[in-house]
Amino acid sequence: MNEAVVMKKGEQAVSDSELAMHGHGALIEESPYAIPSRKFTMWLFIISDAVTFGAFLFAYGYLRVATPNWTRPFESGSVINVILMTIVLITSSLTMLGAVDSSKAEDKPKAMRFLYSTMALGALFALLHIREWFELLHRGITLSSGLFGQTFFTITGLHLLHVISGVIAIFIVASKYSAGRLTPSHVETTGLYWHFVDLVWMFVVPLVYLTNFAR
């Protein structure tokens, strides 16, 4: 009975001090409304971070529609690059799901392989993104070259920062999970962040890249 309750609390061992602090009753009689605090905190972070991106993307969309002579720097080559980047990022979400499910199934070697795959795909995405940045910079579009440059580099830079942070976070979680110092619930929470980064990209591509080809 006690073991089952411990699993629900995030698969962490309950120490004697915790038992003394909360008593056995709190562990055995779980509230039907109880929410794992780690996961809940990540959801609150995701919602607050979504506001940041939402504000930037709304501003971009608004400026894009309201400005008749908006800069249109993207050509077919850029679209192919964006398609590749998007497929890489969605695939990384898939491998992250594999990592989360494998860790829950206590298959650590497979979870680690999926985590490394996610990191590799995230790094590939970042490299493709930076390559595209250099192409734009080479054509004279910079952070200070006009409204397009300012908004483009701000939004994609913020997203790229999230991707790089995510890769670092996955690396740290993977290392500690491999060493047995973190649990599958940590992998799951990191996965939530990674999927969020993927979802944000679903909005960045249409607004920033694809509206480039509108009439």
Partner 1 sequence: MSAASGNVIRKYLPVYFVLIAIFLVEVFLAFRNFSSGSLVVLLLLLALGSAFLGLMYFMHLAEERRGLFLTLIPVTIFVLLMMNMIWSDSVRLLHMHPPSQ
Whole-angstrom CA distances from 45 to 39, 42, 49, 167, 214 are 10, 5, 6, 17, 34
Site for partner 1 in 89-108 (CB under 8 A): 90-91, 93-95, 97-98, 101-102, 105-107
Q: Which region, left, alpha or beta, applies to residue 75 given φ > 0 means left and ψ of -120 to 50 means alpha?
A: beta
Rounded distance between C-alpha atoms, residue 139 and residue 107, angstroms: 49
Mark residues 36-75: x for contact with partner 1 by CB under 8 A, - for none.
---xx--xx--xx-xx--xx--xx-xxxxxxxxxxx----
Nearest distance from residue 16's CB to partner 1, in Å? 28
Q: How many residues bind to partner 1 according to rule CB under 8 A?
A: 68
Q: What is the chain's length?
A: 215
Place of tokens 């490394």: 116
* Binding interface with partner 1 (CB under 8 A): 32-35, 39-40, 43-44, 47-48, 50-51, 54-55, 58-59, 61-71, 79, 83, 86-87, 90-91, 93-95, 97-98, 101-102, 105-107, 109-110, 114, 141, 145-149, 192, 195-196, 198-199, 202-203, 205-207, 210-215
